[in-house]
Amino acid sequence: MLQLLPVAILGAVLGLDVVSFPQAMISRPVVAATLGGTLIGESSSGLLVGAILELIALETLPFGASRYPEWGSAAVVGGVIFGSHAAHPAGAMTLAVLSALATTWVGGWTMVQLRKLNARWAGKRRDALEAGARGSVVSLQLIGMTADLARGFVLTAIAYALLAPLAAFCIARWSIDARLSRSMVVGVAASVAGGAAWKLFHSTNGARWLFLGGLAVGLFMLFAQ
């Protein structure tokens, strides 16, 4: 557990990117999990589990104040847990993905609580904000971003501290064939991604054919290597 602090710091930074700052897409699962794996010297493992999480994350439509999963911190947890088992034993991918999904659910809840806190802090400065006081606006933004950074840090630290030992315990006792467990994870992720893509393009003329064409080209390039 020596890497708990750097993992928590990375999760805090990427959790901040989800909404607060800088929204540079580094919190996307494929990026965040790869960075998590890289942190422990297993970038390829992080990329692999990140690609699976990215397929699931396609279902997320983060509109307005709706509650949605917090993928930045969660993908770091998943990437580090999967990368910690470099030999990719049976169950490692399944448990890494499940750990990330559990963290996304809790992370979404923490974001809602932070919004409530932001509203309270803004309410206490209402008069100054209505008057256009620059100092109040800047201080409120800084407080909100600092609180979001702390939220990501605590979330990642607790999730990793609890789920990493649990994953290791389960992997040591995993009895399902490795290929079967991996194929189930990939199949579920692909199904979620397919459903998300269908919702976006099924009502647009010609979009489905472009999608199928791109899929065919991608598969051809994959198998041609």
Beta carbons of 49 and 82 less than 8 angstroms apart = yes
pLDDT over 60 at 21, yes or no: yes
Tokens of 144: 């909100």
SS3 4: helix
- Among 125, 102, 109, smallest CA distance to 53 is for 102
| Residue 206: both structure tokens together | 């010609």
Q: How buried is residue 165: exposed, middle or buried, by Cβ count under 10 Å (0-12/13-18/19+)?
A: exposed
CB burial string 1-36: b at 16+ within 10 A, e below: eeeeeebbbbbbbbbbbbbbeeeeeebbbbbbbbbb
pLDDT higher than threshold 70 for residue 105: yes
Instruction: Return d(Cα 16, Cα 32) in angstroms, integer.
Output: 12
Copy the structure tokens of residue 214. Answer: 């791109």
**Mean pLDDT, rounded, for 5-33:** 94
Distances 4 to 7, 83, 85, 86 between C-alpha atoms, Å: 5, 14, 16, 18
Instruction: Decide if 12 contacts 153 (C-beta within 8 A).
Output: yes
Q: What is the dihedral of CA 147, 9, 18, 140, to 10 degrees?
A: 20
Question: Given pLDDT bands bounded at 50, 70 and 90, which one contains residue 1?
Answer: low
Q: Residue 60's pLDDT is what?
A: 81
pLDDT of residue 198: 79
2 confidence band (pLDDT: 50, 70, 90): low
pLDDT above 90: residue 32: yes
Q: How confident is the model at residue 98 (pLDDT cuts 50, 70, 90)?
A: very high
DSSP for 178-223 reads: HHHHHHHHHHHHHHHHHHHHHHHHTTSTTHHHHHHHHHHHHHHHHH
Does 48 score more than 60 pLDDT?
A: yes
Q: What would the pLDDT profile of 58-97 be if each residue is shown by its tens digit?
A: 888 766 666 788 999 999 999 999 999 989 999 999 999 9
How many C-beta atoms lie closer than 10 Å to residue 77's C-beta? 34
Q: What is the structure's pLDDT at 121?
A: 93
Give the pLDDT score at 63. Answer: 66
Q: Residue 64's pLDDT is what?
A: 61
Number of Cβ within 10 Å of residue 108's Cβ equals 18
d(C-alpha 113, C-alpha 104), whole Å: 14
CA–CA gap between residue 172 and residue 192 (Å, rounded): 29
